[in-house]
């Protein structure tokens, strides 16, 4: 009977775990859908504003802008987007491993800042910049403005030659891919030049670029953050779904063991009763 009591205690604990993992799965699914919708809208805006930048820059042979200018400075700054919490599969390990491969042989010329603590714990990199807490709330717009302005000032003051963002790109259906994207200098695809029509601009092209280039950079950064956030919730949803399935399988096995022990106990008692009756 002692074994049955232990099994029942395990069964109760496993059922409680099942409730938790099932609830976390539903919460993550709802958050994933929320950020998936935000990402879809943000990507549409990003594509439109980048197309406007291409039209402004490629329509002129002589037009230049500091954000488009490639610096001679070899120093790089990378922002790595990860999570503050676990239980989201291996998404943090993937992005950390991807960054490790990227910085091999060039540790002295790369400074890494973090959004979220998990990648920082996994990388253990020596040249650390700022560490930002992973949260998207009412203050996120202000945080996004601040971090984009900081990177722009750093680049325009020639403190760094290139700025990168490392994040997990959300691919839908719970899948993702680690990506390292160069966000500064803003690169224009010269292959699109032949497809660009000539426009008249009011005010001048430079004044337009002074406004839309920082806005385009901000939209790219926002898209990276949304990709990372959607990936986190998708990975957590998949992980909790797998955990819930394992709990259900464990509950089935525990119930089977309890029934077998109970049946064996009943059989033993019947044998003892029959043996006693025969003795009498």
Of the ranges 120-124, 143-147, 208-212, 271-275, the best mean pLDDT one: 143-147
* Cis before 185 (ω within 30): yes
Q: Which residues contact 238 (CB under 8 A, 6 or more apart)?
A: 89, 174
| Residue 178 three-state SS | strand
* CB-based burial label for 143 (10 Å; 0-12, 13-18, 19+): middle
Closest by CA to 13, choosing from 259, 254, 241, 260, is: 254
CA angle 147, 236, 125 (to 5 degrees): 45
| Res. 109: pLDDT tops 70 | yes
The pLDDT assigned to 280 comes to 62
Q: What are the residue ranges spanned by the domains of the chain?
A: 22-238
CA 15 to chain centre: 30
Q: Which residues contact 37 (CB under 8 A, 6 or more apart)?
A: none
**C-alpha dihedral sign at 11, 245, 177, 236:** negative
131-186 pLDDT, tens digit per residue, is 998 888 888 999 999 999 999 999 999 999 999 999 999 998 778 999 999 999 98
| Res. 271: pLDDT tops 70 | yes
Q: What's the N-to-C CA distance of the chain in angstroms?
A: 28
CA 64 to chain centre: 34
Give CA–CA dist 82/35, Å, rounded. Answer: 16
> Which CATH code for domain 22-238?
3.40.1380.10
Bridge-based pairing of strands 110-115 and 128-132 is parallel
The pLDDT assigned to 248 comes to 95
- DSSP alpha helices (H): ranges in the chain? 2-58, 91-103, 118-123, 140-156, 205-279
| Residue 203 three-state SS | coil
Closest by CA to 155, choosing from 231, 70, 47, is: 70
Q: What is the band of 191 on the pLDDT scale with cuts at 50, 70, 90?
A: low
The pLDDT assigned to 111 comes to 93
* Cis before 203 (ω within 30): yes
Host H or E run for residue 163: strand 162-172
**C-alpha dihedral sign at 91, 170, 83, 22:** negative
Q: What is the band of 236 on the pLDDT scale with cuts at 50, 70, 90?
A: very high
The pLDDT assigned to 125 comes to 87
């Amino acid at each position: 009977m002692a074994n049955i009591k232990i099994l029942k205690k395990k069964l109760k604990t496993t059922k409680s775990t099942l409730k938790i993992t099932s609830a976390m799965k539903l919460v993550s699914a709802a958050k994933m859908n929320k950020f998936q919708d935000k990402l879809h809208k943000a990507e549409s805006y990003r594509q439109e504003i980048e197309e406007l930048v291409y039209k402004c820059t490629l329509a002129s042979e002589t037009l230049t802008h500091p954000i488009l200018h490639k610096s001679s400075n070899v120093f790089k700054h990378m922002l790595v987007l990860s999570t503050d919490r676990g239980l989201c599969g291996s998404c943090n390990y993937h992005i950390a491993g991807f960054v490790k491969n990227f910085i091999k042989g060039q540790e002295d010329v790369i400074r890494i800042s973090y959004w979220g603590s998990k990648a920082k714990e996994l990388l253990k990199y020596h040249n650390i910049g700022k560490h930002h807490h992973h949260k998207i709330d009412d203050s996120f717009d202000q945080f996004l403005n601040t971090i984009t302005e900081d990177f722009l000032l750093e680049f325009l003051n020639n403190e760094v030659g290139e700025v990168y963002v490392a994040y997990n790109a959300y691919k839908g259906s719970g899948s993702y891919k680690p990506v390292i994207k160069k966000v500064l200098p803003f690169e224009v695809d010269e292959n699109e030049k032949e497809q660009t029509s000539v426009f008249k601009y009011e005010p001048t092209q430079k004044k337009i670029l002074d406004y839309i280039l920082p806005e385009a950079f901000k939209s790219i950064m926002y898209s990276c953050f949304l990709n990372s956030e959607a990936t986190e919730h998708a990975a957590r949803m998949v992980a909790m779904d797998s955990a819930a399935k394992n709990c259900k399988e464990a509950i089935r096995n525990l119930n089977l063991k309890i029934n077998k022990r109970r049946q064996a106990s009943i059989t033993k008692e019947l044998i003892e009763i029959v043996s006693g009756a025969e003795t009498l």
